[in-house]
Amino acid sequence: MALSNTEKRHEYGTDKSGVKQFLGSEVSSSAEEALFHIIPAPLEKSVSYGTGTSKGPAAIIEASQQLEKWDGFSVPGDRGIFTRNPDKSALSGSTENFLEEIEKEIYSSLKDGHVPVMLGGEHTVSLAAFKAISRSGSPFAGKTGILHFDAHSDLRDIYEGDRLSHACVMRRGFELGLQLFQIGIRSLSPPEVLFRKENGISFIDAREAVEKNISSIAFPEDFPEYLYISIDVDGFDPSIFPATGTPEPGGLGWYQVHSIIESAAKQRKIIGFDVVELAPFTHPGFHASDFAAARLIYNVMGIIERSTCKP
Ligand SMILES: [Mn+2]
């Protein structure tokens, strides 16, 4: 029987077990051979303003089917991309259960030498990666820093009574011993300003980054040898990612973020990254933000694939 266009769209990029694969239209790899492991993390519990982040991973994977394999420099897809399938029942439980399940997926990718690429979901999901990295037995425990792109510093100790709020995620990471470098911040509470200062956290805020057109960074000498990158799409200017819960004017440029990540990749080995806070249905029928997220992810894979940085 002939498939309708909607059914065809659904089938496009889906593997034999029925899991829709990131760029599955072009790339087919087993979990073992793939360098990149996509980990969908559709968490939406503590979102404070616009909603819809739980639909982020599916929208990104759908949009990825439209990507070309050439990213402008190389073909990162040739290194293999495999989309993992976290246990749905664990994800429907509490935030703690959700994070535990995603942490398991990330840890299993990391320890087998893959590069986990997590798709949010609200920013709280990054905590699963921070915990996986910091586990005892992890090859990266105590040796990893976070490069954090965001409009918000996410350094609150508690927000709306919730220590697992998206607004607290970098604070939780810092408490796990992960050193931070923040870029693009333009919305901070006074206690967060103080916390950054008292704890010597590195940052280049949005106004400085944009006005001086900063396209490279230099890590402090004591910054750890491995790097995990956490990208909240609201770190970009909202003209690039309007579909996000808490947009802030005056954000980073598209190529600017790429150049900064390229400069980071020359100094530290990138072990994984996430792209979070895409909220597709704040703009029904508007796919530009979904596609931008898919393109960003593929381009960062390219930067990692071409990086020669070894610790
Ligand atoms: Mn944010």
Going from the Cα of 247 to the center of ligand 1, the distance in angstroms, rounded, reads 8
Q: Is residue 172 part of a domain?
A: yes
| Alpha helices (runs of H) in the chain, residue ranges in sequence order | 5-11, 56-64, 88-91, 95-111, 126-134, 169-175, 190-198, 206-211, 254-267, 288-306
Going from the Cα of 43 to the center of ligand 1, the distance in angstroms, rounded, reads 15
Alpha-carbon distances of 150 from 36, 154, 167, 200, rounded to whole Å:
23, 9, 11, 18
Q: What total number of domains does the chain contain? A: 1
What CATH number does the domain containing 151 carry?
A: 3.40.800.10
Alpha-carbon distance 39 to 297, whole Å? 12
| Least trusted range by pLDDT, from 7-11, 26-30, 38-42, 102-106 | 7-11
Cβ-based neighbour number of residue 4 at 10 Å: 9
Q: In which band, very low, low, confident or very high, does the pLDDT at 208 lie, cut at 50, 70 and 90?
A: very high
Cβ-based neighbour number of residue 225 at 10 Å: 16
Going from the Cα of 167 to the center of ligand 1, the distance in angstroms, rounded, reads 8
Going from the Cα of 277 to the center of ligand 1, the distance in angstroms, rounded, reads 7
For the entire predicted model, the pTM comes to 0.94
Going from the Cα of 281 to the center of ligand 1, the distance in angstroms, rounded, reads 17
Going from the Cα of 152 to the center of ligand 1, the distance in angstroms, rounded, reads 5
Going from the Cα of 68 to the center of ligand 1, the distance in angstroms, rounded, reads 29
Going from the Cα of 214 to the center of ligand 1, the distance in angstroms, rounded, reads 20
Q: Is residue 1 part of a domain?
A: no
56: preceding bond cis by omega (within 30 degrees): no
Looking at per-residue confidence, does 286 or 296 come out higher?
A: 296
136-156 residue pLDDT tens? 999 999 999 999 999 999 999
| Least trusted range by pLDDT, from 20-29, 108-117, 169-178, 246-255 | 20-29
Q: Is residue 311 part of a domain?
A: no
Q: Is residue 10 part of a domain?
A: no
Task: Give the domain range for residue 128.
Answer: 22-69+77-306
* Concatenated DSSP letters of 155-176: --S-BTTBTTSGGGHHHHHHHT
- Please state the rounded mean pLDDT for residues 46-74: 89
Check residue 222 and report its DSSP letter. Answer: T
Going from the Cα of 239 to the center of ligand 1, the distance in angstroms, rounded, reads 15
